[in-house]
Amino acid sequence: MSNPAEEDDPTIPVAETQVGQDNSTSTPVLTATPTQTPTAPATETPLPTEVALQPTLTPTVPTQTPTSTASNTPSITPLPTQTTAPSLSPTSPPTQTSAPTLTPTSRPTQTTAPSLTPTPFPTATVAPQTYAPPPTFTPVIYWTYTPSPTSVPLSYVCESCEFLNFRATPGTAGDLIKKLDAKTPLKIIGRTADDAWLEVIIPDGTIGWVYSAYVTVMSDLTLVDVTGMAENAQVGAPAVSNNVVSGVSSHARQIFLDGLAKGSIPYAFTRVGDSITASPNFLTPIGQGNYNLADYGYLGGAINFFSGPNGRGANPFSASSVAAHNGWSTESVLNPANASGGCNAGETPLECEYRLTKPAVALIMFGTNDAGGMPSATFRANLQIIVQKSIDMGVIPVLSTIPPKQYNPATDGRIFEFNQIITATARAYDVPLWDYYSAMAVLPDEGLASDGVHPSPASDGLNAVFDDSHLQYGYVVRNLTALQVLYVLWQQVLYDAGQAVPATAVPDAGGAPVVNGDCSLAPPARLVVGQTGYITPGLPNKVRSSPSTGATQVGSIPGKAAFNVIGGPQCSDGYRWWQVNYQGVVGWTASGSGAEYWVRP
């Protein structure tokens, strides 16, 4: 078969042969050498003029003119011998003919001389660079202001204000330069019009801005010039997103009613986790009454409801927990060797805390320490045990994602992997999820303290004051979002509290996976949690409430349809089950039978 494009190609050689033919016709130029012989005499005719020029240059020799004339008469025969000379003379006339042509070209080249004069003028404009000294001069002006009477008495960071933010510009939107220690000396050189922000010089000579409420001012600010206008970051809105808590379903209600039957106190909650949870910066100020709800006054109802007392007679907000300790991981809270403070022999810290305080809710956050080296499979298994034990003891487990980490680049990235495991576990067991990570990620420095691990405490120590200036700190946001979680549980699960009728039966699995089941009929696993899967062409796949053929069908996914894989795999009844989300329908679907796949990646 012929290709039209290839058919178009032969026209190109044709054009080339035509060009070749044009070149062959130029060969008659070689036959024009006889025409050069007439040109040679033509070139010789100027030669006498050259000879004539020579006599004019030397008029004292009259004998040479006859010799030149005598040579002209017989010059016809010598011309062939002189043809070599004419070959030299033709080369010289072009040089002479070029001389006349040089005169016009040389004159334009002289016109380029004026173009040389403009170029110095732009270079001469470099002279205005003498204005460069003023920028370097301005800091000198600042320093000359330093000895002025307005800053002779040194101000300083207040005694209780550790880690005061030192910013490049006034306002919370300013880039953070560093954090200042308490009692750091400050030289005040400027302020905002409302005196809320002060421009200062710290001992190492760095100039920046601090919030005046945390400064002990030793001078008259009315004598200090206004040098800036504050611009505050909008951090409050992202931190209090309604999406901070999700997954509150009827299963949580079932766990609550079962807990009532087992002696749980509906007005009590507890904390389970590592140092971020055990810290006195977390919830303790609320239990001590040191809080200001600002624009979140509606949360006051949740504070009143969950103020207990718990099984130990303490306010849950300020009570310590046997199941929360510095440096702990998921393994630590499941190790009976770590139990103390009234715990029974062989009892894990988790079981001990639940037995002693009788909470209806547990705020659980693990993973920051686990991500430092624990295999992800171990973390997943431990977390599942914690969740299942909580359900078994009638306690609603609220799983919290872990905050960002800026400690070790080799392991900091595992935060994302571990948060996926936390999220998948919460969805698999149908328990509430508290997305603390997302609330932290939008804060300055991701809401972290200088160690890159723990949430940043408020510079004035007020970690339960929920105004815009305090909501830039990690612990303030942690306390606010914890109250939001408790508020939602109060409104949607524990709403009738003392009037609720305890359950007479243990709640169903509620989506809890069947561990170590039977996968004998299933093909090898191909899906990946966190990615998209597809139903193979053909019949739709059933979606069930739990990974079992006997579980209630909650929906179906048509052939070729896409879905999100959020959990699994788990084995039951011979099948391998994946927890999926198809257009808002969450449940479990089987992967296939024998060599036949019903789902694919």
Q: Is the pLDDT of residue 482 over 60?
A: yes
User: 176-214 burial, b if ≥16 CB within 10 A, otherwise e?
Assistant: eeebbeeebebbbbbbbeeeebbbbbbeeeebbbbbbeb
**Predicted local confidence at residue 39, as pLDDT:** 41
Give 373-380's long-range contacts (Cβ < 8 A, gap of 24+): 373/411, 374/329, 374/330, 374/331, 376/414, 376/417, 376/418, 376/421, 378/330, 378/331, 379/330, 379/418, 379/421, 380/421, 380/425
Q: Which tens digits make up the pLDDT trace of 405-444?
A: 988 888 888 999 999 999 999 998 999 999 999 999 989 9
**Predicted local confidence at residue 147, as pLDDT:** 42
- Among 73-87, 442-456, 492-506, top mean pLDDT goes to 442-456
Is the dihedral angle over the CA atoms 500, 505, 506, 509 positive or is it negative? negative
Which of 269 and 105 is assigned the larger pLDDT? 269
Q: Which residues contact 405 (CB under 8 A, 6 or more apart)?
A: 368, 371, 411, 412, 415, 448, 452, 453
Whose tokens are 């002006």? That residue is 141
Give how far the C-alpha of residue 326 lies from the chain's centroid of Cα atoms, to the nearest Å. Answer: 29
Distances in Å between the Cα of 122 and the Cα atoms of 109, 112, 353, 447 are 22, 17, 81, 52
**Predicted local confidence at residue 262, as pLDDT:** 93
Q: Is the pLDDT of residue 125 over 60?
A: no
Pairwise CA distance, residues 558 & 543, whole Å: 11
Give how far the C-alpha of residue 470 lies from the chain's centroid of Cα atoms, to the nearest Å. Answer: 24
Pairwise CA distance, residues 228 & 506, whole Å: 64
Count Cβ atoms below 10 Å from residue 598 Cβ, excluding itself.
21
3-state secondary structure of 6: helix
User: 492-507 burial, b if ≥16 CB within 10 A, otherwise e?
Assistant: ebbeeeeeeeebeeeb
Q: Is the pLDDT of residue 33 over 90?
A: no
**Predicted local confidence at residue 203, as pLDDT:** 93
| pLDDT band, very low/low/confident/very high, at 272 (cuts 50, 70, 90) | very high
Q: Which tens digits make up the pLDDT trace of 446-460?
A: 999 988 899 999 999
Domain 532-600 CATH class label: mainly beta
**Predicted local confidence at residue 598, as pLDDT:** 92
Could you tell me how many helices (H) and strands (E) the chain has, helices first?
A: 22, 21
**Predicted local confidence at residue 173, as pLDDT:** 78
Q: Which residues contact 371 (CB under 8 A, 6 or more apart)?
A: 379, 402, 405, 411, 414, 415, 417, 418
Pairwise CA distance, residues 188 & 221, whole Å: 9
pLDDT (average), residues 90-104: 44
pLDDT (average), residues 239-252: 77
Q: Is the pLDDT of residue 139 over 70?
A: no
Pairwise CA distance, residues 458 & 465, whole Å: 9
- DSSP per position, 510-576: TT---TT---TTSPPP---TTSEEEEPSSSPEEEESSSSTTSPEEEEE-TT-EEEEEEEEEEETTEE
| CATH 3.40.50.1110 is right for the domain spanning 239-499 | yes
Q: Is the pLDDT of residue 538 over 90?
A: no
Q: Which tens digits make up the pLDDT trace of 37-74?
A: 344 434 444 444 444 344 444 444 444 444 443 334 34
**Predicted local confidence at residue 397, as pLDDT:** 97
Asked if 134-223 and 532-600 have one fold, the answer is yes
Alpha helices in 325-413 (DSSP H): 330-333, 349-357, 376-392, 409-412
Farthest-apart Cα atoms in the chain, separation: 150
Q: Is the pLDDT of residue 159 over 90?
A: no
| pLDDT band, very low/low/confident/very high, at 183 (cuts 50, 70, 90) | confident
Q: Which of 132-136, 494-498, 556-560 has the lowest mean pLDDT?
A: 132-136
3-state secondary structure of 185: strand
Pairwise CA distance, residues 458 & 467, whole Å: 11
Question: What are the backbone dihedrals phi and psi of residue 132, each rounded to the nearest 5 degrees, phi first?
Answer: -60, -35
* Short-list 339, 342, 340, CA closest to 356: 342
What percentage of the chain reaches a pLDDT higher than 90? 44
**Predicted local confidence at residue 565, as pLDDT:** 86
Q: Indicate the residue type of 427.
A: R
Spell out the domain ranges in the chain. Answer: 18-82, 134-223, 239-499, 532-600
pLDDT (average), residues 228-240: 59
Two tokens at 294?
């600002």
Whose tokens are 């070729």? That residue is 560
Q: Which of 49-58, 175-184, 241-250, 473-482 has the lowest mean pLDDT?
A: 49-58
Pairwise CA distance, residues 490 & 360, whole Å: 11
Q: Do residues 160 and 214 lie in contact, with contact meaning Cβ atoms separated by under 8 Å?
A: no
| pLDDT band, very low/low/confident/very high, at 180 (cuts 50, 70, 90) | confident
Count Cβ atoms below 10 Å from residue 438 Cβ, excluding itself.
16
- Among 118-122, 335-339, 518-522, top mean pLDDT goes to 335-339
Q: Which CATH number fits domain 134-223: 3.40.1030.10, 1.10.8.60, 2.30.30.40, 2.30.110.10?
A: 2.30.30.40
Q: Indicate the residue type of 357.
A: T
| pLDDT band, very low/low/confident/very high, at 153 (cuts 50, 70, 90) | low
Q: Which of 110-124, 254-268, 361-375, 527-541 has the lowest mean pLDDT?
A: 110-124
CA dihedral 351, 352, 358, 361 (to 10 degrees): -50
Q: Do residues 221 and 195 lie in contact, with contact meaning Cβ atoms separated by under 8 Å?
A: yes
Pairwise CA distance, residues 580 & 591, whole Å: 11
pLDDT (average), residues 506-522: 56
pLDDT (average), residues 284-296: 94
Q: Indicate the residue type of 249.
A: S
